[in-house]
Chain A
Amino acid sequence: QSVLTQPPSVSAAPGQKVTISCSGSSSNIGSNSVSWYQQLPGTAPKLLIYENNKRPSEIPDRFSGSKSGTSATLGIAGLQTGDEADYYCGTWDTSLSGFVFGTGTEVTVL
């Protein structure tokens, strides 16, 4: 049972922008940095964003992240068909002494 809540799905036309929210609490997002992962069908997850808003060098700047209080947001600009995937937020939970993932959001390009 995930402790971080995400919308089940979001969609937009090619070239548009989508945002995915991730809601947590003071023991996880409120006190630790958030990372985001992209999981293409049938593959392992891939790191997109770490420490709330930093991108690994190979990730295009179309992907962005932010955090405020106990919530975080992933933005995907200039949507492409190759962005169709499941997206997960995640962070350390200090109370649980473990990592927690969001419920996951499926992105569809219309």
Chain B
Amino acid sequence: QVQMVESGGGVVQPEGSLRLSCAASGFTFSSHGMHWVRQAPGKGLEWVASIRYDGSKKYYADSVEGRFTISRDNSKNTVFLQLNSLKTEDTAMYFCARWTSRGTPDTGRYDLWGQGILVTVSS
């Protein structure tokens, strides 16, 4: 079954840390770039971070640069997002999304999404 399942969310205090995981199954994980996308309550979608299929390149949104770290373990078909120095504005549902393209970013899209995991930053 082709799917991705996120875990690791929860409630954390400002300046705290969390590590999100996204376990993939049913497809060749190591052939796809992986991204994290978040959605604050009642708001739109916001791209957070991305990692190439082999982990060689990583990109971050300005809003999380220096605080969040994306990584992957292709032997375990899992992508991670380490969230440090959390702020109240990081409260959101976090989705992992599979990136598919014809080799260059200009043709890319998210063709598979996890169900999402909630992160709440509150004192």
Contacts and interface: CB of A to CB of B under 8 A. Distances in A.
B112 to A, nearest CB: 8
Interface centre among B44, B50, B109, B116 (most CB of A within 10 A): B109
Interface residues of B, number: 22
A90 B109 CA distance: 8
Nearest to B102: A51
Given A37-B110, A50-B109, A98-B61, A44 B116 contact: yes
B103 to A, nearest CB: 13
A31 B106 contact: yes
A97 interface: yes
Closest 5 CB pairs of A and B: A35-B109, A32-B106, A50-B109, A44-B113, A99-B47
Interface string B94-123: 010000000001111111011110000000
A37 B110 CA distance: 9
A60 interface: no
B11 interface: no
A32 B44 contact: no
Contact of B45 (A33, A45, A56): A45
Given A44-B115, A103-B44, 14 more contacts: A33-B106, A35-B110, A37-B45, A43-B115, A44-B95, A47-B109, A50-B109, A90-B45, A90-B109, A98-B50, A101-B44, A101-B46, A104-B44, A104-B45
B27 interface: no
Given A32-B106, A47-B111, A92-B105, A101 B116 contact: no
Interface in A80-110: 86, 88, 90, 92, 94, 97-104
B123 to A, nearest CB: 26
